[in-house]
Amino acid sequence: MTITTVARLAEHDGETVTIRGWLQNRRSKGKIAFLLIRDGSGTVQCVALKKNFDEEFFDKLTSLPYESAVIVTGPAKADERAPGGVEMQVDSLEIVSVSEEYPISNQEHGPDFLLSNRHLWLRSSKQVAIMRIRDEVIRAIRDFFHERDFINVDSPIFTPNACEGTSELFEVQYTEDELAYLSQSGQLYNEAAAMAYGKVYCFGPTFRAEKSKTRRHLREFWMCEPEMAYADLEDVMDLSEDFLCYIAQRVVAHRKHELEVLERDISKLESIRKPFPRLSYEEATEKMREHGHEFEFGNDFGAPDETFVSSLYDSPVMVHRYPHEIKAFYMKRDPQDDRFALGVDVLAPEGYGEIIGGGQREDDLETLRARIQAHELPEEAFEWYLDLRRYGSVPHGGFGLGLERTVAWMCGIEHIREAIPFPRMLYRIYP
């Protein structure tokens, strides 16, 4: 007997096959029972006729608890009216295990309850759709870089030094007399890798010990960071633009069904096309004033400012050349106007906020050393980083993309905690 999956059922039209899954829903009408079976690849309606089973078994079937594990054998039948375009007749059914009463029902549950049952909540149709879109975004990210000759160079999680102050860092007792910090960004290591391999990216979990509890923050999230040697701010903006268009097009092309499950307005994703508007910080603050949005020049953008600026456009918008005081020590100053740093933030539309942050890095040894001193950072810890300016320094830059924010944006969901399988928040590390 051919064992297959729901997703591949349509390839077996007319054949008798076996699928192995769980009972997601059922209803019965006298002599006929409709069983909705999910197997992780999709859901299919299976039709069981009473006459084909002994009465006791059929009764058991029509009262089987949700999430019971079942193996169903019968002919697959293409049917345009069926979800997924295919149905199954049940010739035989094996009950692998009878579930206890399943705690998640179709009624509304509060977020605390659902998060405490995340290990089960992951089975719900919307969560399945989100995780499939996450999987697609991850693959799109890797394909994008591979097609452009980037190589994946993983940055370490344990880092000996705090790159931008220790207040948001998780500390680990590495050995009896040595502390380590969990990485907030692989960028400094990426710079070393870019000098070795030209174009690189890292993609892994990063950690921020933030106290904030907003819908945009997680304490553990995945970040993808490309870095290019022989690149300037324009190259970084060009790459960001191509990158976001590529991801959105892949999701629309490969995950239409999942977007429909999430009732996502697909036209919003289709309108992510280049060129994206490019505003300098000065121009952006000018726009805010024109539109009566209060903002003090010199400040960093808060979430309301990001939302305001992005609300002016349908596509993502790039804001570049921020006051250097609000950007990291390693950012190169604008040679045209040294009040500003050659950084760029890409703001997603629909209020999803900053999705990418990046820029060109300082490549001059003495300037960088002075910057480290001015920021009162331990110079010794950055000797290796300074070496990159001693031995063959070149203009270079890159950016970081937050995976969960991107997934939340693609999915059109409000809170990024649903964009990661097991979210880690201020008061939540279980399950």
Residue list 290-349, contact with its own copies (CB under 8 A): none
Provide the H-helix boundaries in 335-401.
365-374, 383-390
Per CB under 8 A, the list member of 12, 219, 332, 405 interacting with its own copies is: 219
In angstroms, give the least distance from the CB of 415 to its own copies. Answer: 17
Q: Which two tokens stand for residue 372?
A: 């480290």
- Cβ distance to its own copies smaller for residue 64 or 346: 64
Please identify which residue in 16, 50, 59, 204 interacts with its own copies, judged by CB under 8 A: 204
Q: How far apart, in Å, are the Cα atoms of 181 and each of 164, 170, 258?
A: 12, 6, 38
Site for its own copies in 21-80 (CB under 8 A): 21-23, 39-41, 67-69, 71
Rg (alpha carbons) of the chain, rounded to whole number: 26
DSSP string, 78-147: E-TTSGGGEEEE-SEEEEEEPPPPPS--SS---HHHHHHTHHHHTTSHHHHHHHHHHHHHHHHHHHHHHH
Window 378 to 417, contacts with its own copies (CB under 8 A):
381, 384-385, 387-388, 390-395
Angle between helix axes 403-411 and 233-254 (nearest 10 degrees) is: 50
- Our CB check for its own copies shows the closer of 148 and 339 to be 148
Residue with Cβ nearer its own copies (52 or 117): 117
Query: Could you tell me how many residues of this chain bind its own copies (CB under 8 A)?
Result: 93
Q: With the C-alpha atoms ordered 68, 71, 77, 78, is the resulting torsion angle positive or negative? A: positive
Q: Least separation, in Å, of the C-beta of 403 and its own copies? A: 9
In the beta sheet, which residues pair with residue 3? 18
Q: Does 254 bind its own copies (CB under 8 A)?
A: no
Q: Which is nearer to its own copies, 182 or 288 (CB)?
A: 182
Which is closer to its own copies, CB of 97 or CB of 212? 97
Binding mask 263-282 for its own copies (x = CB under 8 A): --------------------
Q: Rounded to the nearest whole angstrom, what is the least distance from the CB of residue 26 to its own copies in the complex? A: 14
Closest by Cα among 141, 142, 179 to 158: 179
Measured from the CB atom, the residue of 41 and 62 that comes closer to its own copies is 41
Please state, in angstroms and rounded to a whole number, the distance separating the CA atoms of residues 136 and 124.
Answer: 18
Site for its own copies in 138-197 (CB under 8 A): 138-139, 142, 146, 149, 151-160, 170-175, 178, 180, 182, 189, 192-197
CB of 253 to its own copies, least distance (A): 15
Q: How far apart are CA 285 and CA 298, in angstroms?
A: 9
Residue 70, judged by CB atoms within 10 A of its CB (0-12, 13-18, 19+), counts as buried
Shortest Cβ 265–its own copies spacing (Å): 25
Least distance to its own copies, CB of residue 12, Å: 15
In the complex with its own copies, which residue's Cβ is closer, 142 or 293? Answer: 142
- DSSP-assigned states of every residue in 138-180: HHHHHHHHHHTT-EE-PPPSEESS-BTBSTTPPEEEEETTEEE
Closest separation between CB of residue 218 and its own copies, Å? 10
